Chains A and B, each alone.
Chain A
Amino acid sequence: MDQNQRPRSILDSLGEELIAILTPVSICMFTVVLLVCILNSDPSSSSSSFSSIATAAYSESDSDSSWDKFVGAFLNSLVFVASITVATFILVLLFYLRCIKFLKFYMGFSAFIVLGNLGGEILVLLIDRFRFPIDCITFVILLFNFSVVGVFAVFMSRFSILITQGYLVWIGVLVAYFFTLLPEWTTWVLLVALALYDIAAVLLPVGPLRLLVEMAISRDEDIPALVYEARPVIRNDSHLVQRRVWRERRSTQNDSNDVEVSVVRSVEVVVEEEDVGSRGGSEISVPLIDRRTNQPENSETFLEGIGLGSSGAIKLGLGDFIFYSVLVGRAAMYDLMTVYACYLAIIAGLGITLMLLSVYQKALPALPVSIMLGVVFYFLVRLLLEVFVVQCSSNLVMF
């Protein structure tokens, strides 16, 4: 078949950005499910030991009636959402007063605490589970190094993109795992409450996130925040410029032969590097819309949102990663069937949100559609599908 001279079809590159954001979300969810399955396999280690601001109003116990549990969960989520709102408004105030240095320092400090403290707890649980022989001093040194590198990765702009993305996903995994330790009713009501809060915060004119985004745009600055970006931002670092250039060269190649592409790439990349530098402005600018802060759980400020960088890269706030993974992790505590259904629902919701993003071209809340779909699918599968499928397959009747 003479396909070597055939021009590349549109199917080769369509939907790349969507996959680039779906992959880390899937990896985060998969890791949280794995952790939940490994660490929660013995029911004797109950979840009542985890107390945070989200259980301040009411801590669930098995002997309460359903109505009590629901009211208690509702109060818990009210407290949580209220504290998030207060913290976000404080963030808006600080940004307004131009205390950028303080915000950056706080962001780095919170990343260090999450990686060191929460990461350390999970690692200790894993070491205990697998009986891994390691001593205290080695563990502390390794953990400290890991956390410090993580702080640099999310802080500094001239860092390797893969490592930054890896650390962001890992921070999301750690926080999400700890949220799955909340009691069951509280988790579900909290997720729904956060989805509603997200709509209000991003779309209402007095919403704190909207104020933040508008201030950032009007001042032409970016908010210091933990945000996952699907495409690397161009800087003058040669490593990043090469990656970006490679993406561009691909679209003009006529060969479908991968070997030739890589050979050509290494020759022409040198030339392109200078071109990009001289072209200046448009691609080296910093994406504006939708950077969000992430602060540790004791102040409980996770801001969510999805937006477009000025170079067209899709950006997803770390809070979205965390709450998607919390939903899937909580579904994993029931059964794997609910995990698959919730995963598909969340991905569908994310796809719908991205389509809306391309239509409306402004910052949108990424939580509501996915969380609502995820919750609906969880309850549908748990109530309807499971009986059906178990009936059929235990008799080996399939279609």
Chain B
Amino acid sequence: MTVAAGIGYALVALGPSLSLFVSVISRKPFLILTVLSSTLLWLVSLIILSGLWRPFLPLKANVWWPYALLVVTSVCFQEALRFMFWKVYKRLEDVLDSFADRISRPRLFLTDKLLIALAGGLGHGVAHAVFFCLSLLTPAFGPATFYVEKCSKVPFFLVSAIIALAFVTIHTFSMVIAFEGYAKGNKVDQVIVPVIHLAAGMLTLVNFASEGCVVGVPLLYVVASLTLVHCGKMVWQRLLESRNQSSGSQ
């Protein structure tokens, strides 16, 4: 439905991440590199998953359990990769700290570490939005639109953009929760991230029912806001803690 609609759908999916990028990430060149590398990592994980599942595709229509299996395997694989990403980040943090010592600058602050985690999450979220929503958006720039039977009230592009927005939020902030959880050894945080990811993936299976997206999409947004709230609480606590620590030690 014309260029304006196409750009509109793209902005629905990526608008908040674009503003996050421009206001926070683009100030520090290292964060831009982090976003690019985590996007690349997500793409590689997606390629590996599609390589694994290629012999079984195309799946039969209207049968939902192969998709459930697909979602479960993909989420497990991506969570394992997230843990490995954290390991690499730990090593990078040591390298950066020793580099800072060498040039006699202060080591990484807490806000720096949180920003790197945020940039990593944003990379994952943007990759999700780009590959699941934007890459299918090309027909939306033309003169017509498209509806799927299972969700017949809303154009397909709009539904996928809305779902992609929820997933961008989930990916971005769950990476912050995950990094803090792994760093502090906090079991609750470590477990809650895969659970959220799996729950979100499973909720999209609700879209299989006829008109399921009326129920599925709001539930997905409930999960996304839960992630947001949990992340906000955790970050606030950590910042208060570190400020008390630094003012206590002075």
Binding site for B on A (CB under 8 A): 1, 6-16, 18-19, 22, 335-337, 340-341, 344-345, 347-348, 351, 377, 380-381, 384-385, 387-399
Contact = CB atoms under 8 A, between A and B. Distances in A.
B132 A11 contact: no
Dominant SS at the A interface? helix
Interface stretch (B83-91, B95-103, B173-181, B184-192): B95-103
Given A9-B105, A396-B160, A388 B33 contact: no
Given A9-B108, A398-B163, A335 B138 contact: yes
B8 interface: no
B133 to A, nearest CB: 7
**4 closest Cβ pairs, A-B complex:** A388-B50, A337-B135, A399-B201, A396-B207
Interface string B54-87: 1001110100000100110011001000000000
A336 B138 contact: yes
Contact of B29 (A19, A384, A385, A387): A19
A6 to B, nearest CB: 8
B134 interface: yes
Dominant SS at the B interface? helix
Contacts of B243: 1
Contacts of A392: 67, 70, 132
Interface stretch (B14-22, B41-49, B221-229, B230-238): B41-49
A344 B74 contact: no
B30 A396 contact: no
Nearest to B197: A399
A396 B32 contact: no
Contacts, number: 154
Nearest to A23: B32
B30 A397 contact: no
Given A15-B29, A385-B46, A396-B160, A10 B204 contact: no
Contact of B50 (A11, A15, A385): A385
A381 B43 CA distance: 10
Most buried by B among A14, A335, A398: A398
Nearest to B134: A336
Interface string B200-221: 1100110110000100100000
Contacts of B153: none
A395 to B, nearest CB: 7
B117 interface: no
A344 B131 CA distance: 12
14 contacts: A1-B243, A6-B106, A11-B30, A11-B31, A12-B27, A14-B28, A336-B137, A340-B134, A392-B132, A395-B148, A398-B132, A398-B164, A399-B78, A399-B197
Given A397-B204, A398-B128, A12 B67 contact: no
B118 interface: no
Nearest to A8: B105
A9 B29 contact: no
B44 to A, nearest CB: 9
Contacts of B148: 394-396
Contacts of A14: 28-30, 96
Contacts of B134: 336, 340
Given A7-B105, A15-B33, A394-B156, 19 more contacts: A9-B108, A10-B96, A10-B99, A10-B105, A11-B30, A11-B108, A12-B27, A14-B30, A340-B130, A348-B36, A384-B47, A385-B50, A388-B46, A390-B136, A391-B59, A396-B148, A398-B128, A398-B160, A399-B201
B136 A18 contact: no
B151 interface: yes
B167 interface: yes
A388 B67 contact: no
Contacts of B67: 392, 395, 397
Contacts of B40: 344-345, 347-348
Contacts of B160: 393, 396, 398
A387 B70 CA distance: 14
B108 A388 contact: no
A378 B243 CA distance: 48
A384 B49 CA distance: 9
Contacts of A397: 67, 70-71, 201, 204-205, 207-208
B43 A388 contact: no
B50 A337 contact: no
A393 B57 contact: no
B115 interface: yes
A396 B204 contact: yes
Given A9-B105, A344-B43, A393 B31 contact: no
B193 interface: no
A381 B58 CA distance: 16
Nearest to B216: A396
Contacts of B128: 398
A380 B70 contact: no
A223 B55 CA distance: 54
Contacts of A337: 131, 135
Nearest to A12: B28
B28 A395 contact: no
Contact of B207 (A11, A13, A341, A395): A395
A344 B54 contact: no
Interface in B123-160: 128, 130-138, 148, 150-151, 156, 159-160
A347 B43 CA distance: 13
A19 B33 contact: yes
Contact of B54 (A1, A19, A340, A388): A388
Contact of A385 (B47, B108, B205): B47
Contacts of A6: 106, 109
Contacts of A348: 36-37, 40
Given A347-B36, A398-B167, A389 B50 contact: yes
